[in-house]
Structure 1
Amino acid sequence: MRILFLTLFTFSTFAQQKQQKPMRLWYDKPATYFEEALVLGNGKQGATVFGGTKSDKIFLNDLTLWSGEPMDPYMNKEAYKNLPAVREALRLENYRAADSLVRKIQGKFSESYAPLGTLFVDFNHDNPTEYRRELSLDKAVSTVHYHAGSNEIRKEYFFSHPDNVFVIHLTSKEKKGLNFTVQFKSLLRYSTKSTINHLHAKGTAPVRADPNYVRKKGNPIMFDDTKGTRFATDILIQSADGKVLRTDSTLQMVGGTDATILVTMATSFNGFDKSPSKEGLNEDDLSEKRLQAASFKGAEQLLARHLADYQPYFKRVNLSLPADNAPELPTDERLRRYAKGEKDNYLETLYFQFGRYLLISSSRTPGVPANLQGLWNPHIQPPWSSNYTMNINAEENYWLAENTNLSEMHAPFLGFLENLEKTGRITAKTFYDAPGWVVHHNSDIWAMSNPVGDFGNGDPSWANWPMGATWASTHLWEHYLFTQDKKFLEAKAYPLMRGAAEFCLYWLIEDKNGRLITSPSTSPENKFITPTGYQGATAYGATADLAMIRELFLDLIAAEKILQKDPAFQATLEKALARILPYQVGAKGNLQEWYFDWEDTDPKHRHQSHLYGLYPGTHVTVAETPSIAAAAKKTLEIKGDETTGWSKGWRINLWARLRDGDHAYKMYRELLKYVEPDGVKVNYARGGGTYPNLFDAHPPFQIDGNFGGSAAVAEMLVQSTPELIETLPALPAAWASEGAVSGLKTRGGFEVSMSWKDGKVTSLHLKGLKGSTAKIKVNGEIKSLLIKTGEVHVL
């Protein structure tokens, strides 16, 4: 195939004609519920702003504030002794016994992500008029504007990453018209004190916070004055003309025209393996120093520094969909209108960019990734502990990191894997007498890696799943593919992936036909029905296990071909890969989930883990494995489209990989189905969808649906392998008339910008490493490119 030698071509036409509209959420009344409030974050700390006029409530969070202390990885030292009995029960097809015996291979539950506290700014403004509450995604700034009688009040909120400070800037149109009181409260153990213009709060997270679904005697929340993660919060009011009064627990502004509230936070968390009580950071000193540094800059300079930090990330990607006649309505009203079937391409673009905004705002802390709620949690016992659920949810949080050009935000999750590897090696040894490292269903900030279940009380369908390291390790290879960072591949990715594969090689055993399978095996959170009618979870050779192992082995083999330092291990993987039980197609034409063609207890189950090879895996494709892809499609048809938020996000990506853009779009619309806040019990609205503030409704709120949905939009527009980039592979008819996107990333380290009309690409620009080559499929034709200067204009 001929190589096109192309050099830089001015791409201003695309940039000038296809600009994305300003991205903002807005509302005409204050929030009453968490799912209506607007969220801000600097990647480590966050604020949830309600925008009240009588009392402005603001939830505060720090990503490093969790219950508990470092885990004891030796919690069940002799658990491995039970593995042979489980495997023997499975060999005898005694699934009831296997379900019972495997409970002996369980440990503790994860700890819980804790809320730091709530800031109240009380104005006592009743019956405001001309109210508007807004969040600009372009600026990561929230504003509230309203009239209080003859006065006009404006509030501006942002959370700065470079200065580690939350800023509230308030102005009054009337001179000396600002009168408000500030106070801090927390669900944790805390105390407050004040000095001039300054309020200081300090406290401690619980030493234990049981998951909200655990029902046992005793207090689920336990504090210990000698243990746990400490936190500190400092609040300062600055005003040129107002007077600040104080009590031990409040600050009061009297007669100000312009005022700034600065809020800083810190915790004693000092690493997953260090006691935050005995080896912790000095949270008081950290918070006070941040406050002092910010206090010298002023609101205007703080905002400028915030924008200079945030906007280069957010502005990397622009999306412009076909124009429509959707009216300019508050965001919650747009959602309600959209749920009736009306067109609103602006809302669809907004949701896509909101996912990117959330990732920038919640994932910039080394070794501490975004959790189930991202960063924003008001509960002392949050849903599912707001932990790291490693059988899909933690990974789904990062599906958009690479393809929507936010590779830096992937780093906290990849760094977290380094922590998990350390505890996971001990877990592999003590629970299975296995080499390598392993991670199970749940983890937390302390890098917990054991099977959960409270030492025998957990259902094996979720408690005993051991493929967390296998799944998560493929993110390391993906990061390399998108960045082409060979140093990262050699120093970080390959050793971690190898360790996960070492466990998998041990975990694989021969079936009666000499094929390699896993035993014991579960398919996350699903259950089977045997021909005798037994409903169980523990079996052998579940398709999901083998799909994840196959993907990891393929990734490692590809990595070794680049590094060429570990040929013996490559050969071992290739031999094992050839012997793994192939995919099986069931009698209904579906992809079998279990070793046998069993029925599921719930045929429409929210998990579709056995379709992993299609997405997020890459070894099942329409082009290369058409029969398996067809079976995956049949599985999705049997499951139907109605499912929870995060599951819907996953299924949209699966339909995109199947090249069915219209079905993907149908489900994308369903992902944006309006759901009332959890405090409003409306039966018709209970189910996966979107809350008024665009948070994903699992329900309750889980952020993975937001991230999965955003990733899916990119997947509909551009797909890639290391060998080929495909443009518009799953473009839905609803977007086909015209549109443009810029800045999407591909495997191979390329960046794609293009416009289209009537379903055909009309302009295409590609960036890549200088001297790199790319194959790109455009309007059905494959072009081979040599990028001589780093950029090429293809069409």
Structure 2
Amino acid sequence: MSTASKRNVLSLIAAFLLSPNIAVSESAEHDPAHAIWFEQPALNWDQALPIGNGRLGAMVFGGIGHERLQLNEDSMWAGQPTDRFNRGSKVKLDAYRESLFNGDHASVEQGIMRELSINQTPVRSHQTLGDLFLTFDHAEASHFHRALDLKTAVASVSYMHDGVRFQRQTFSSQPDQILVSRLTASEPGALSFTLRLSRPEDNGIPTATTRVVGSNTLVQSGQVTQVGGIDPNDGAGVRFFNQVTVVPIGGVLKKLGKDLRVENADSVIIYIAANTDFYTPDYVDRTRAQINAAINKGWKALKRAHIEDYQALYHRSVLTLEETENTSLPTDMRLQGVQQGAPDPAFSALYYHYGRYLLISSSRVGSQPANLQGIWNRHIRAPWNADYHLNINLQMNYWPADLVNLSELQRPLFEFIKRLAVRGRKRARENFGARGWVSPHATDIWADVWTRAARPYWGLSHNSNAWLVSHLVESYRFSGDEAFLRDEVYPLLREVCEFYFDWLVPHPQNGLLVSGPAVSPENRFLVEEGGELVERSTTMGPAMDQQVIGQLFKSTLEVLDHLAISNEFSEELEHKYRQLSPGIRLDENGRIMEWFYPYREAEPGHRHISHLYALYPGSEIHPLLTPEFADAARKTIEHRLEHGGAATGWSRAWMINFMARLHDGETAKHHLDVLYQRSTSSNLFDLHPPFQIDGNFGATAAIVEMLLQSHAGYIDLLPALPRDWASGAVRGIKARSGYEVGVRWRNGQLAHSTLRAREDGLCRVRYQGRELVITDEQGREVAASKNEYGIFIFDAHAETEYQLTTKI
């Protein structure tokens, strides 16, 4: 091993062992493993830096002459809760099913969306809160530095102008529900600038009123509108109030029309708070109270509380990969190097930490779930409304939560699922003739469950209820929280199962139960009609529906067994599960069939690969336990890629997870590199394009899947480690059954692993079929048996940390 390599390995081990629980001081250099930084301001939105506390956020541009804070609040939504778009009937559903069984796709596709859907794209978007612009008296600078410190969640800007160093620090505090920015200069009286608060118009119509209050405050109030929405009476949304209060030290602060002007100050603190009536009718008073409390608390105390709160989450996990000469470069230059093929393993560690940062910043207890853009949206009408797409996108946002030890950040998702269930019961009963509850392919903050699509290929999908509740089951598997399982998970699971008891119908070909009318999300197939091939999408029993429902039934049976529940429901569930048509069926080419029949795909390289749900995020396909299906999954993937598949950022992230689950670290790393090359902006946001945050979260989960898996009933160490990550360390990641895991490896081989048990029970662990030595906290070797798959099984005791090494 070279001297440089030895130094890298030693630094990795040191980074793994040293405690990270020390806040970075304001004067400290940024850790390249935990900072995104640049030598120039952001020229556009995709280069700005995101900050957020789950509910209140901003994109910080870091300009010299002009600074822009593009502001967000997670409940800034058009529309209102309504059931008046619920449509459909059990009689019509049965008629469409009969037509599909008879091969009549044409009449179904001509009529079914008129029957079930509002038959148009709804315009009810999440919207920007507005912008705070700072205009300075200088526009040139040297020694420029712009950064987002992931260890402290503080965005900073510093530069020199005319011999004076100017600095800004901005963060969004969860404890104080405030966004704060502090501006300083190295010389007294050097700070002069103008503040302006604005909000974009809605199709030419003003959306807010801005005024100056007193001598130091800008306020903006209004109601979200959506001109061109689905209904003129439905476009009105939440009422909002935004307050910006400026507190200078030294100098003069004065009103300048609708703006504020700071002249010759030594330093300035800007306090920003905003609320809507979605959360409380007292949203104006709440905003004022938050500002007043923050001013009384002061900058230092606010920052200390913010960092302590944030680091309690961020420091739970650390990933360290080998550094190269590129590691010290600015992030945009570093990304460019990665895109051109320069070796930089540590870049993936930075991306991992950034994904955790984004989740902490866009999803907190009490906030809304992270939407298609997290909380960072500059639009009045956002791409895809920045809404909640339930055919993969919202779910992908939360793939990493348990894995990276941030399980409680799923609480907004779980509360949202409960709201969907409330509204979904009415629709299931009245429009589908079914018990339980249903949810559609997309919804918004109001948790409406009406079908919203003009075309069936992207809107005729009602299996999201089953996919969503799988997140609650998985969360239990990680936490072991019995009260959560009994009181929250089981009731929702039961109702979704009851919906499918009534929704599923026997297929005339074999009598097995299939779902439908349905589609394979957003994909289409070719059928012959009138002597020519035409594109169709509506069918019965597509693979994804069958796989998701199969997982639902199997998981619920496990829950019933665990809770010792035996009743009429459990009997009906066992019967339906036995009668369910399988979701994994192979065609003549050895690939997994996407539909019940072996249709030709209209778009063989489609971005959705829904018929591999059973591989990921499901767990029915495994290279060791179901090798035939794993081989078929690989062939399915290869066919997609040959035709240009995984072209979007989120689809590429899904592909990385697929390959990790197939234990193919080299191909997983290849697709991670392609994600960096084609779908990553300079601020490391994922690009669909445009920006869509699910790719960030999906790839973060995939990085863990490459290092640790536990979905098959055992802990699998380094199952998909690529050669490029020759040496590294990770700690604080989670495995199912509540194990907290740390792993170190050198030269591609396991060096050491720790497993901390949550409770007494059998622990199952594997490392590439190699012999393992397991010791307890006293260094005593723990007896373990080994099965035919190379899985070691031993008795684990609660709150005990076990050490694992390979046998020499």
When the two structures are superposed, what TM-score results if normalisation uses the length of structure 1?
0.91
> Residue 720 of structure 1 contacts residue 746 of structure 1 at CA under 8 Å; is this kept in 2?
yes
> Residue 16 of structure 2 contacts residue 729 of structure 2 at CA under 8 Å; is this kept in 1?
no
Matched, 1:488 2:484: yes
Matched, 1:245 2:245: no
Instruction: Report Cα offsets for 1:313-370 as digits up to 9, x if no partner.
Output: 1111111112333252221111111111111122211111111100000001536200
What SS is found at the alignment partner of 1:130?
strand
1:409 matched residue in structure 2: 409
User: Equivalents in 2 of 1:126, 1:721: separation in Å?
Assistant: 55
> Residue 65 of structure 1 contacts residue 113 of structure 1 at CA under 8 Å; is this kept in 2?
yes
What SS is found at the alignment partner of 2:140?
coil
Given the alignment, which residue of 148, 164, 173 partners 1:135?
148
Letter in 2 for 1:246: K
Mapping of residues 608-627 of structure 1, within 5 Å: 608-627=609-628
Letter in 1 for 2:222: G
Given the alignment, which residue of 689, 692, 708 partners 2:679?
689
Given the alignment, which residue of 185, 196, 205 partners 2:215?
196
Mapping of residues 227-266 of structure 1, within 5 Å: 227-266=236-275
1:89 matched residue in structure 2: 99
Shift of 1:13: 7.1
Letter in 2 for 1:715: E
> Residue 135 of structure 2 contacts residue 194 of structure 2 at CA under 8 Å; is this kept in 1?
yes
2:400 matched residue in structure 1: 400
What SS is found at the alignment partner of 2:511?
coil
1:704 matched residue in structure 2: 694
Mapping of residues 91-490 of structure 1, within 5 Å: 91-103=101-113, 104-107=115-118, 109=122, 111-187=124-200, 189-193=207-211, 194-206=213-225, 210=229, 227-270=236-279, 281-326=281-326, 328-366=328-366, 368-453=368-453, 458-490=454-486
What SS is found at the alignment partner of 2:188?
coil
1:56 matched residue in structure 2: 67
> Residue 646 of structure 2 contacts residue 655 of structure 2 at CA under 8 Å; is this kept in 1?
no
2:713 matched residue in structure 1: 723
What SS is found at the alignment partner of 1:147?
strand
User: Equivalents in 2 of 1:17, 1:759: separation in Å?
Assistant: 22
Shift of 1:65: 1.1
Letter in 2 for 1:701: F
Instruction: Report Cα offsets for 1:710-732 as digits up to 9, x if no partner.
Output: 00000000000373111001111
What SS is found at the alignment partner of 1:326?
helix
Shift of 1:196: 2.5
User: Equivalents in 1 of 2:384, 2:715: separation in Å?
Assistant: 38
User: Equivalents in 2 of 1:478, 1:230: separation in Å?
Assistant: 37
> Residue 428 of structure 1 contacts residue 503 of structure 1 at CA under 8 Å; is this kept in 2?
yes
Shift of 1:449: 1.2
> Residue 501 of structure 1 contacts residue 553 of structure 1 at CA under 8 Å; is this kept in 2?
yes
User: Equivalents in 2 of 1:655, 1:414: separation in Å?
Assistant: 28
- With 591-600 and 722-731 compared, the bigger mean Cα shift is at 722-731
Shift of 1:259: 1.3
What SS is found at the alignment partner of 2:310?
helix
Q: 1:187 to 1:223 in 2, by over 3 A?
A: farther
Matched, 1:508 2:521: no
1:681 matched residue in structure 2: none
User: Equivalents in 1 of 2:389, 2:455: separation in Å?
Assistant: 15
1:70 matched residue in structure 2: 81
Shift of 1:200: 1.6
Tell me which stretches of 4 or more aligned residues in structure 1 moved more than 6 Å: 11-14, 17-20, 220-224
User: Equivalents in 2 of 1:187, 1:221: separation in Å?
Assistant: 20
Shift of 1:126: 1.5
Shift of 1:772: 4.1
- Which gives a bigger RCO, structure 1 or 2 (Cα 8 Å, sep 6+)? 1
Mapping of residues 547-566 of structure 1, within 5 Å: 547-566=547-566
1:526 matched residue in structure 2: 523
Shift of 1:68: 0.9
> Residue 323 of structure 1 contacts residue 345 of structure 1 at CA under 8 Å; is this kept in 2?
yes
Q: 1:37 to 1:396 in 2, by over 3 A?
A: same
> Residue 557 of structure 2 contacts residue 570 of structure 2 at CA under 8 Å; is this kept in 1?
yes
> Residue 522 of structure 1 contacts residue 537 of structure 1 at CA under 8 Å; is this kept in 2?
yes
Q: 1:627 to 1:118 in 2, by over 3 A?
A: same
> What is the percent sequence identity of the aligned residues?
34
Number of matched residues? 746
In structure 1, stretches of 5+ residues that fail to align are 1-10, 212-219, 271-279, 674-687
Shift of 1:85: 2.0
What SS is found at the alignment partner of 1:466?
coil
Mapping of residues 647-658 of structure 1, within 5 Å: 647-658=651-662
- With 570-579 and 744-753 compared, the bigger mean Cα shift is at 570-579
Given the alignment, which residue of 762, 767, 782 partners 2:751?
762
Shift of 1:573: 2.0
Instruction: Report Cα offsets for 1:619-644 as digits up to 9, x if no partner.
Output: 22122222122111111001115511
Shift of 1:435: 1.2
Letter in 2 for 1:616: P
Mapping of residues 573-588 of structure 1, within 5 Å: 573-582=573-582, 583-588=584-589
What SS is found at the alignment partner of 2:208?
strand
> Residue 119 of structure 1 contacts residue 183 of structure 1 at CA under 8 Å; is this kept in 2?
yes
User: Equivalents in 1 of 2:153, 2:376: separation in Å?
Assistant: 15
What SS is found at the alignment partner of 2:575?
helix
1:274 matched residue in structure 2: none
Shift of 1:465: 0.7
> Residue 82 of structure 1 contacts residue 105 of structure 1 at CA under 8 Å; is this kept in 2?
no
User: Equivalents in 2 of 1:229, 1:207: separation in Å?
Assistant: 11
User: Equivalents in 1 of 2:293, 2:496: separation in Å?
Assistant: 44
What SS is found at the alignment partner of 2:254?
strand
Shift of 1:222: 8.2
Shift of 1:390: 0.2
Shift of 1:292: 0.3
Shift of 1:248: 5.0
> Residue 79 of structure 1 contacts residue 106 of structure 1 at CA under 8 Å; is this kept in 2?
no
Shift of 1:474: 0.4
User: Equivalents in 1 of 2:472, 2:98: separation in Å?
Assistant: 35
> Residue 15 of structure 2 contacts residue 320 of structure 2 at CA under 8 Å; is this kept in 1?
no
In angstroms, what is the RMSD of aligned CA positions?
2.0
Q: 1:486 to 1:788 in 2, by over 3 A?
A: closer
Q: 1:670 to 1:761 in 2, by over 3 A?
A: same
User: Equivalents in 1 of 2:149, 2:86: separation in Å?
Assistant: 50
> Residue 33 of structure 2 contacts residue 346 of structure 2 at CA under 8 Å; is this kept in 1?
no
Instruction: Report Cα offsets for 1:27-49 as digits up to 9, x if no partner.
Output: 11111111000000001110001
Shift of 1:519: 2.4
> Residue 680 of structure 2 contacts residue 686 of structure 2 at CA under 8 Å; is this kept in 1?
yes
Shift of 1:562: 1.1
User: Equivalents in 2 of 1:322, 1:22: separation in Å?
Assistant: 10
> Residue 374 of structure 2 contacts residue 693 of structure 2 at CA under 8 Å; is this kept in 1?
yes
User: Equivalents in 1 of 2:695, 2:565: separation in Å?
Assistant: 39
Shift of 1:504: 1.4
Letter in 2 for 1:93: G
Shift of 1:515: 1.3
What SS is found at the alignment partner of 1:498?
helix
Given the alignment, which residue of 28, 31, 42 partners 1:31?
42
> Residue 158 of structure 1 contacts residue 168 of structure 1 at CA under 8 Å; is this kept in 2?
yes
What SS is found at the alignment partner of 2:245?
strand
What SS is found at the alignment partner of 1:296?
helix
> Residue 86 of structure 2 contacts residue 449 of structure 2 at CA under 8 Å; is this kept in 1?
no
Q: 1:151 to 1:659 in 2, by over 3 A?
A: same
